Amino acid sequence: MSFIITSAHIFTGDPDRPRAEAVAVEGGRIAAVGDNPEIERLRRPGWTAYDLPGRLVTPGLVDSHCHFVYYGLFRHVVSLRGLTSLAACRERIRTAAAGLAPGDWLVGEGWDHYLWDDSAEPDRTDLDDVTPDNPTVMIRADGHTMWVNSRVLAWMGLDRSSPDPPGGRIERDAGTGEPGGLLRDAAFHPLRDQIHASFKDWKTAAAEAQESALRLGLTGVHSSEDWPRYQALAELEAEDRLQIRVHHLVRPEDFKQAPPDRLRSQAGSPRLWFSHVKLLADGSLGSGTALLHEPYADDPSGRGAPILDRDILETQIARFYELGWDIAVHAIGDRAVTNVLEAVAAARKRLGVRPGEKRDRIEHVQLFRPQDLALYRELGLVAAVQPVFMASDWRLAEKKWGPDRCRFAYAWKTLLSAGLPLQMGSDAPFDRIEPLAGLQAAVTRQDPRGLPEGGWFPDERLTLAQALRAYTAVPAWTSRKQELLGSVTPGKMADLTVFREDLFETPSERWPAVDVEMTVIDGEIVFQNSD
C-alpha cells in the first residue's frame, strides 16, 4: 500500500534530517520525508492519507535481546511472577497440578525469592507435597535457576554422588549432600528437551508472541533460541504469516542440528536471518552466578561462576570467526565482561581480524570496571543492555554487589560516553517486553513506582533521543541491515512505530499508558489501534 502521514512529530533517526512532520510511503519503502506541503504534493490518486497531529512517529522499534518464541510459550505455563511469598507460589502450583493427570509434567516460571518475606530460596520439599504425582519444574525469574521436585531429580538420576557439570551447579542439602532441588545454568540443561516436549505447538507460541509484539509497536526482535524454535519461525515465514523481523542469534549446539546449507552467516531473508553466534560467559545476578572480580556483598565466599571460562571463550570465538560469524556473548558480572573483552582481543589478534570487520556484542553488561572501557572502545563491541533489568533489580544489585560497585552497574550513559554503540531490549520472557517500559527506565532510572526518587545513579540517565536510537539505528547496524532499516530515510524499508502521544512532550511517568497508534512493516500496517 501507499500512504502519507502528515502533521506528526517524526523522529527520523537520520542525522541529516533529525525531525520532520510528514512522510510518504510507496512500494514498501520510505519515498520522502519533509513538511506537510512537500509530502502532500507527492500524494497520488489511491493513496491513503493519515493526518496525525500530536502523534510521535519513530523508526520501527526493535527489541534487541529476547527469546521470542519462549515469550509466546510462557503465556501458557504457570506464572509465579510478582508473587510475594513462598506460600502464594505453592498454592498457585497446587492449583495448576490439580488439573493434570498423574505423571504429566508441570512447568512454570517467574519465581523470585527476593520478593518473599524471608528471601530464602525454596527446595524440593516445598514442591513435593503440592505436586506429589507430577514432575515439576519452576524456572526462576532470571532463567538461570530451575526449582524442581524429587520426581524430577529421580528422572535425571541425580544423587549425592552426582558431580556439578561444567558451567553449572547442583545445590545440595547441607546435611546430607543430596540434591536439594535447585539447578543452576548447565545443571538444568538435561531438562530442556523434556520441557520442550511438554508443549506441542511452538508455531502457535511464535504467532502469539508476534501478535503481542506488533501491538506494542515492535517491528523487529533479536532473538536467541535453539534450532527447533527457529524452525517454528521459519514455518510461519513459509506460510507467509511472519510479519515481524527476526534476527536470530544462533547457539553452538545448533550446528549439530541444522542442515549445513541453512546455517551460514547472513543466510536467510529480510524477515528472518542470522549473523551472530550466542555464547555465555556467566550466570545471573539473582541466582548469584554472575562472575565477579570481587566477592558478593551478601556472600563473601562467592564470586559467581563461569559458564565458559576465558580460554574456552577465546577458542569458541576464534572458531566462529573462522566460519564467518559475528559473536554475541552473555556477560553480566564485571569479571565476565573482562573475560569476554580479553577473549575477543586475543581471538582477533590470532586471526588477524581487521578493525571494523566484526559487529560483536556483549549481552547485558550489568556490571563493569571503568578500567575495561578503553579495551571495550578499541574493540568496538556493542553493549546490548536491558533497561527494564535496572527497574526490576536496582535494590537487589545494591544488596548483592554493594552500593560502591553499583556506580558502574547498568551505567548506560558511561558506556555511551565512552564511545560504545548501545542497543536495548528486554530479555523477554524474563522481563517486560514493552518498549515503553524500557524507554522509561532508560530515561528516568526509576522503577514503575517512581523509585528511587530522582533516579538510581541519575547521572546515568539517557535522553529520549539516545534511548530511541538504541531501539532503532544501533540494532539495525549490529544485525548488518543498516542500509535498509533503523531510520526514517528515503529509500529505506518503511518500518514505523506510531505512538498516540508525542513522548517528547508527554511526562515520562505517563509513557507506559501511551497507546501505539499503528505499527508498520514494509509499508504495510500490521497493527492499527481501533480504540
Q: Do 228 and 277 reside in the same domain of the chain? A: yes
Q: Do 167 and 233 reside in the same domain of the chain? A: no
Phi and psi, residue 196, nearest 5°: -60, -40
| Strands laid side by side in the 361-364 sheet | 61-66, 218-224, 245-250, 272-280, 326-331, 361-364, 382-385, 422-424
Q: Residue 73: inside a domain, yes or no?
A: no
DSSP symbols for 137-171: EEEETTSSEEEE-HHHHHHHT--TTPPPPTTEEEE
Please count the other Cβ atoms lying within 10 Å of the Cβ belonging to residue 270. 12
Helix intervals (H) in 418-528: 435-444, 464-470, 473-478
Q: Do 276 and 405 reside in the same domain of the chain? A: yes
The closest alpha carbon to 495, from 67, 114, 25, belongs to 25
Amino acid residing at 276: H
Q: Do 170 and 281 reside in the same domain of the chain? A: no
Cis link prior to 387 (omega < 30° from 0)? Answer: no
Contact 282, 330 (CB under 8 A): yes
Tell me the CA distances in angstroms from 512 to 378, 395, 430, one per residue in order: 37, 22, 18
354 DSSP 8-state letter = P
Q: Residue 136: inside a domain, yes or no?
A: yes
Phi and psi, residue 342, nearest 5°: -65, -40
Taking the CA atoms of residue 437, residue 439, residue 444 and residue 446 in that order, the dihedral angle to the nearest 10 degrees is 30
What value does the CA radius of gyration of the chain take, rounded to a whole number of Å? 23
Q: Which of 178, 197, 216 is the last residue of a domain?
A: 197
Query: In this predicted structure, what is the pLDDT of residue 100?
Result: 94
Q: Do 245 and 317 reside in the same domain of the chain? A: yes
Measured at the CA of 293, the angle between CA 291 and CA 299, to 5 degrees, comes to: 70
Q: Do 254 and 394 reside in the same domain of the chain? A: yes
Q: Residue 169: inside a domain, yes or no?
A: yes
Measured at the CA of 109, the angle between CA 104 and CA 111, to 5 degrees, comes to: 125
Q: Where are the beta strands (DSSP E) in 21-72?
A: 22-26, 29-34, 48-51, 56-59, 61-66
Domain encompassing residue 234: 63-68+200-485
Q: Do 213 and 298 reside in the same domain of the chain? A: yes
Q: Which of 141, 170, 197 is the last residue of a domain?
A: 197
- Greatest alpha-carbon span in the chain: 80
Phi and psi, residue 29, nearest 5°: -125, 160
Q: Residue 42: inside a domain, yes or no?
A: yes
Taking the CA atoms of residue 165, residue 167, residue 168 and residue 174 in that order, the dihedral angle to the nearest 10 degrees is 80
Q: Residue 375: inside a domain, yes or no?
A: yes
Q: Residue 45: inside a domain, yes or no?
A: yes
Rounded-to-integer distance, Cα 178 and Cα 95, Å: 28
Query: In this predicted structure, what is the pLDDT of residue 258?
Result: 83
Q: Residue 393: inside a domain, yes or no?
A: yes
Rounded-to-integer distance, Cα 64 and Cα 243, Å: 17
Q: What is the pTM of this model?
A: 0.94
Q: What is the CATH number of the domain that holds 268?
A: 3.20.20.140
Rounded-to-integer distance, Cα 56 and Cα 14, Å: 15
Rounded-to-integer distance, Cα 251 and Cα 88, Å: 36
Helix intervals (H) in 241-309: 254-257
Contact 29, 187 (CB under 8 A): no
Contact 422, 470 (CB under 8 A): yes
Query: In this predicted structure, what is the pLDDT of residue 376?
Result: 98
Domains identified in the chain, total number = 3
Q: pLDDT tens, position by position, for the chain (531 residues)?
A: 899 999 999 999 999 999 999 999 999 999 999 999 999 999 999 999 999 999 999 999 999 999 999 999 998 899 999 999 999 999 999 999 999 999 999 999 999 999 998 889 999 999 999 999 999 999 999 999 999 999 999 999 999 999 999 999 999 999 999 999 999 999 999 998 888 877 778 999 999 999 999 999 999 999 999 998 999 999 999 999 999 999 999 999 999 888 777 788 778 899 999 999 999 999 999 999 999 999 999 999 999 999 999 999 999 999 999 999 999 999 999 999 999 999 999 999 999 999 899 999 999 999 999 999 999 999 999 999 999 999 999 999 999 999 999 999 999 999 999 999 999 999 999 999 999 999 999 999 999 999 999 999 999 999 999 999 999 999 999 999 999 999 999 999 999 999 999 999 999 999 999 999 999 999 999 999 987
Q: Which of 197, 229, 247 is the last residue of a domain?
A: 197
Q: What is the CATH number of the domain that holds 183?
A: 3.10.310.70
Q: Do 230 and 266 reside in the same domain of the chain? A: yes
Q: Do 186 and 276 reside in the same domain of the chain? A: no
Q: What is the CATH number of the domain that holds 496?
A: 2.30.40.10
Q: Do 88 and 101 reside in the same domain of the chain? A: yes
Q: Do 161 and 304 reside in the same domain of the chain? A: no
In terms of DSSP bridges, do strands 3-6 and 22-26 run parallel, antiparallel, or are they unpaired? Answer: antiparallel
Return left, alpha or beta for 514; rule: phi > 0 is left, psi -120 to 50 is alpha, else beta: beta
SS3 breakdown of the chain: % helix, strand, coil, rounded to 5? 35, 25, 40
Q: Residue 296: inside a domain, yes or no?
A: yes
Helix intervals (H) in 43-85: 68-73
Q: Do 331 and 356 reside in the same domain of the chain? A: yes
Measured at the CA of 300, the angle between CA 297 and CA 302, to 5 degrees, comes to: 100
Helix (H) or strand (E) holding 212: helix 202-215
